[in-house]
A and B are shown apart, each in its own frame.
Chain A
Amino acid sequence: GDSVTQMEGPVTLSEEAFLTINCTYTATGYPSLFWYVQYPGEGLQLLLKATKADDKGSNKGFEATYRKETTSFHLEKGSVQVSDSAVYFCALAYGEGFQKLVFGTGTRLLVSP
């Protein structure tokens, strides 16, 4: 079935470092792809999305490109801040009308000053 695999964490970076969190997917058809972020004690916040091949989603300095040829949707940010410390989830929307989300296991990011 459809699935998402993301790199295990934690990812530990110093402030202003470059961030990459890898995500690959397995899907039939052409799902929409998402990155969600979860801060401690909170629900998930939609960070960015892409709906078709070669689309680039971007928000708050984060970006990810939908790569159909490599079935990937890697999250990147040029300069992380301490406030970016959170758990990041890659997800795809599948099923009839793309109504269900399937998530990866999450990658914890820790940014130190």
Chain B
Amino acid sequence: DAGVTQSPTHLIKTRGQQVTLRCSPKSGHDTVSWYQQALGQGPQFIFQYYEEEERQRGNFPDRFSGHQFPNYSSELNVNALLLGDSALYLCASSSEVSTDTQYFGPGTRLTVL
């Protein structure tokens, strides 16, 4: 049973560029959440997608956007990258019957130069 997968593993961008990160949820899960984890900190909630719509959003600017596809996979897009966007981006999946129990992928390490 495949767990949550994310791609790419690492990414290096320069300020002002745009980036897209991808996530495939655990089999049987229909809800995807994205978190940003800065170095030495706990993850912070960005947003959650269910039925191809953004259902909840944390305190992140509109430069952060996402999408969910019919197969439940998801993308996180960040526009106009800032140095402060450098972090580990984690995707988590859950099922609608147990939304509070989230399973995390290995993350994408984004470095903005």
**Are A46 and B101 neighbours in the complex by a CB distance under 8 Å?**
yes
Question: Could you tell me which residues of chain B, from 59 to 97, have a CB within 8 Å of some CB in chain A?
Answer: 90, 92
- Centre residue among B48, B100, B103, B104 by max chain A CB count within 10 A: B100
Residues in A24-76 with C-beta less than 8 Å from chain B: 32, 36, 42-46, 49, 51
Contact status B48-A105, CB under 8 Å: no
- Contact between chains at B56 and A100 (CB < 8 Å): yes
Q: Are B104 and A44 in contact (CB under 8 A)?
A: yes
* Interface range for B: 20 to 34
Asked, given contacts A43-B106, A106-B41, A106-B42, whether A100 binds B101 with beta carbons under 8 Å apart, the answer is no
Contacts of A102 in B (CB 8 A): 45
With both beta carbons as reference points, the residue of chain B lying nearest to A33 in the complex is identified as B100
Contact indicator B99/A43 (Cβ below 8 Å): no
Q: Which of B8-41 contact A (CB under 8 A)?
A: 31, 33, 35, 40-41
Of A44, A99, A106, which contacts B100 at CB under 8 A?
A99
Evaluate whether A89 and B48 lie within 8 angstroms (CB atoms) in the complex, with A46-B103, A49-B101 already known.
Answer: no
Partner of B42, one of A32, A96, A98, A104: A104
**A43 CA to B102 CA, complexed, in Å:** 12
Tell me, rounded to whole Å, the shortest Cβ–Cβ distance linking A19 to chain B. Answer: 19
A100 touches which one: B42, B48, B106 (CB < 8 A)? B48
Known: A43-B105, A44-B104, A46-B101. A100 touches B58 (CB 8 A): yes
Residues on A facing B (Cβ under 8 Å): 4, 32, 36, 42-46, 49, 51, 89, 91, 93, 95-106
The 6 closest A-B pairs by CB, nearest first: A103-B42, A93-B100, A98-B100, A44-B104, A43-B104, A43-B106
